[in-house]
Structure 1
């Protein structure tokens, strides 16, 4: 994307400099309403598929138990058709609009008995609500992790493509809240993308730990019934078993919400950091980055007509804060309780934590798509201060042998003098640079005359040259930025494939279970 115009939109077109007056003067009549944002994405499920809630998974567990135990000889073959029919009736009744869908074993089982007889309780051989609940909690949480991963990928892709559009945009970067050095906006954005990539790694790692079946561990020490735990895990789409029966419902099931909460915390912190960095621009009278006005992004103050309040940024920051707050819940709930207690295990609470992280990411995606960058103003901001001054010290050391601290002292004295005279780097007299250098190195073994020509001195303060001439791996030079963009795209594609594979694995397992269960019903 060209950066020759004063304002560059991050979507698909350029706003000319002449249009910037219109951009700043357009008023939005009311504050934005972002209730349309997706919370808890369910893109992986068709509308006609059942909701995979606790009731759904209790039904699947019972279906798998019926199939496996009948084939393993743990159920009387004569009773199997009746048990299967009773279970199917409960499933069908639960699918009716407004129907009861109990979420606990003790509430589900009476429906089975009512649909069949007490014979259906033969299914409960070697089972407990402990391992059944631990299993459906893991099944639901792994699906929420995939939803979080999907939104993270969507937002990260927007971020990476925004970087690709701004490889030639040079902006000031800040440390300790103060302008520090020039950078390409693409390189800065790719830094944020790297943080989100680590969040994606955390999701994949956590998924592997959550994607383990507790079925067959009963309360905490296994059972005397010869249950086929691996086959049960396969039918429910789990990648592995929880090996230790005590761990299954007493340790790991309490640990999962805490780990997922830590991932949501990281996602929210990364989102909030980005938003805050943009928000600081709104305190300036002439920002170099803003939100596109209108479309619910900004709203006019009710009292001060000049103000364009960044509603979208504020909302997204608030959503990130809400995610951080909710994500601490499992930590406090797990703290100072004995193993296996239900405090941190509530499905609705843990779902809300993940949904809050998804909402923060969805809000950030909107922010990224609404950003308007003014490259000329960004360059002016850089050149209004001495953010390029370190380059003088680097050149004096790299090309002329001065110790860095002595070169740093020269550059620092130039900056001090310039600020005392209100002189910017573009106007700084070369003769003053020569004088300050001579005074700074007096009494040392360094050459008494500034070893930079005037042309070299001016080039050392060129922010575009500084950014483009970096040579280290991971630097801001165009070749490295292009490499990082390409690799980021590859990682996002791989992450999309991973999400699809995990969902297809579960779907295939449940489809096989449905097929085998249907044969029992005749």
Structure 2
């Protein structure tokens, strides 16, 4: 059965091949078909309530839409460039099953509000899946952290040894970033839960439809307050792309650290064979490809956000064909993270930690210097003076080629009268960590508290991620 274009009524001939190929989006928007069919069922019911379909017509329409849904799910519904887009293809499928009755479904809606609705449903549905994968990564990081609450490592700034921290604390710093990503997804979802269906092409409809009821049937919280905004708004796509780009940045930072940790120079962790690759010429190599791909794909995620921002920046109201370019960037970003997050989670969950190497390197680079300054402050020395005194101690150690705890008592006393042998009580990594007890700090007690709080929050997020927002 040959079906005319949805827009072909005023045209005397068909489109040129070049236009048809350029204009077609069926190659990528067919993934919206399940959502378009759900929206079509809701629209059929609203047409029935408006008296535009009788009982028999509604039953036949819903039956045909169900059959079409099953055919699409089984990949048994063929499409081609001549279908132009998902909406045209599905109307063809409906007409093949119902004949002229299938044409009644188009009343009161436009491809403009259809695609805006479909894409919101798709994004909200897949955002929950993204959240679930983020929770899995958080679980992997937390599982490693639990084993290393007291494992010291050199905390760094400017990639230079700064102060000792626990490895758990460093892992949980990444967890906090991913928890913020989950919060962004939830905040985004609240704004995305608005149905454009009923906005028509841009002006709404003169038919007695019920956009609010349709919105509720499709899992939305409300319907669009302005029909022009309903069909032209793509803020929800931009915001989701910002969230995915930010997740990419956080994965990139974690990936960079894993690259460093697994290097021969650091030797802090060893990656499991299942989550590393080798070299085609150097048999000894174990390459952290997952971590490097996490780093590399962040550029792709940022690029997708930039692409859509540039596309949207000068569009007049309401719908413009430029908006066809909104789908591929968000599809690609979600696909990328759906592939990347499980790999990173597996890499983190299975890596072995060389705790002894970490502990041995923790005090190097005069990382306990701040402990001396704080010790002096507790004895009444102004921090400005304590800083200068400690700097002189570091300079003496550097000149002698020794670490802080190796400096002789005579050297300490010659630098300042305040420096007695009692200062040695803070010149141990264990003492430095134990002294960090304030909320959010790196001491084992504070980290244990942080772990408990994260456990409560993760339980909440897993429940949220598992909540269905798109009806079956």
TM over 0.5: yes
Superposition deviation, residue 95 in structure 1: 4.8
**Of residues 200, 205, 213 in structure 1, which corresponds to 2:195?**
213
Superposition deviation, residue 300 in structure 1: 4.8
Greater mean alpha carbon deviation, residues 322-331 or residues 456-465: 322-331
1:430-489 CA-to-partner distances (Å, cap 9, x unmatched) read 21011012xxxxxxxxxxx22x531x3212221221111123221122222111101111
1:324 equivalent in structure 2: 302
| TM-score with structure 1 setting the length | 0.78
2:252 equivalent in structure 1: 272
User: Any residues of structure 2 matched to 1:96-111 within 5 Å, and which?
Assistant: 96-100=74-78, 103-111=85-93
1:178-210 CA-to-partner distances (Å, cap 9, x unmatched) read 111100111111111111100000011111222
Determine the C-alpha separation between the residues in 2 that align with 1:147 and 1:418.
54
Determine the C-alpha separation between the residues in 2 that align with 1:293 and 1:151.
20
Determine the C-alpha separation between the residues in 2 that align with 1:482 and 1:52.
48
- 4+ residue segments displaced more than 6 Å: none
Determine the C-alpha separation between the residues in 2 that align with 1:157 and 1:141.
24
1:431 equivalent in structure 2: 410
**Of residues 397, 400, 420 in structure 2, which corresponds to 1:453?**
420
Residues matched between the structures, number: 438
Higher relative contact order, structure no. (Cα contacts within 8 Å, ≥ 6 residues apart) = 1
Determine the C-alpha separation between the residues in 1 that align with 2:294 and 2:277.
12
2:48 equivalent in structure 1: 70
CA contact (8 A) 2:275 2:347 kept: no
CA contact (8 A) 1:131 1:249 kept: yes
| TM-score with structure 2 setting the length | 0.86
SS at structure 1 position matched to 2:163: strand
SS at structure 2 position matched to 1:459: helix
User: Any residues of structure 2 matched to 1:172-191 within 5 Å, and which?
Assistant: 172-191=154-173
User: Any residues of structure 2 matched to 1:151-166 within 5 Å, and which?
Assistant: 151-166=133-148
SS at structure 2 position matched to 1:215: coil
CA contact (8 A) 1:126 1:218 kept: yes
SS at structure 1 position matched to 2:362: helix
1:131 equivalent in structure 2: 113
CA contact (8 A) 1:299 1:310 kept: no
1:114 equivalent in structure 2: 96
CA RMSD in angstroms comes to 2.5
Unaligned runs of 5+ in 2: 1-28
Determine the C-alpha separation between the residues in 1 that align with 2:251 and 2:90.
41
2:341 equivalent in structure 1: 361
Identify if the C-alpha distance between structure 1 residues 248 and 163 changes in structure 2 by more than 3 Å, giving closer, same or farther: same
Identify if the C-alpha distance between structure 1 residues 72 and 293 changes in structure 2 by more than 3 Å, giving closer, same or farther: closer
Superposition deviation, residue 414 in structure 1: 0.8
CA contact (8 A) 2:108 2:205 kept: yes
Superposition deviation, residue 161 in structure 1: 1.7
Determine the C-alpha separation between the residues in 2 that align with 1:464 and 1:217.
65
Determine the C-alpha separation between the residues in 1 that align with 2:390 and 2:110.
73
**Of residues 435, 444, 447 in structure 2, which corresponds to 1:469?**
435
SS at structure 1 position matched to 2:466: helix
Unaligned runs of 5+ in 1: 1-50, 438-448, 511-522
Higher helix share: 2
Identify if the C-alpha distance between structure 1 residues 483 and 93 changes in structure 2 by more than 3 Å, giving closer, same or farther: closer
2:11 equivalent in structure 1: none
2:20 equivalent in structure 1: none
2:470 equivalent in structure 1: 506
1:489 equivalent in structure 2: 455
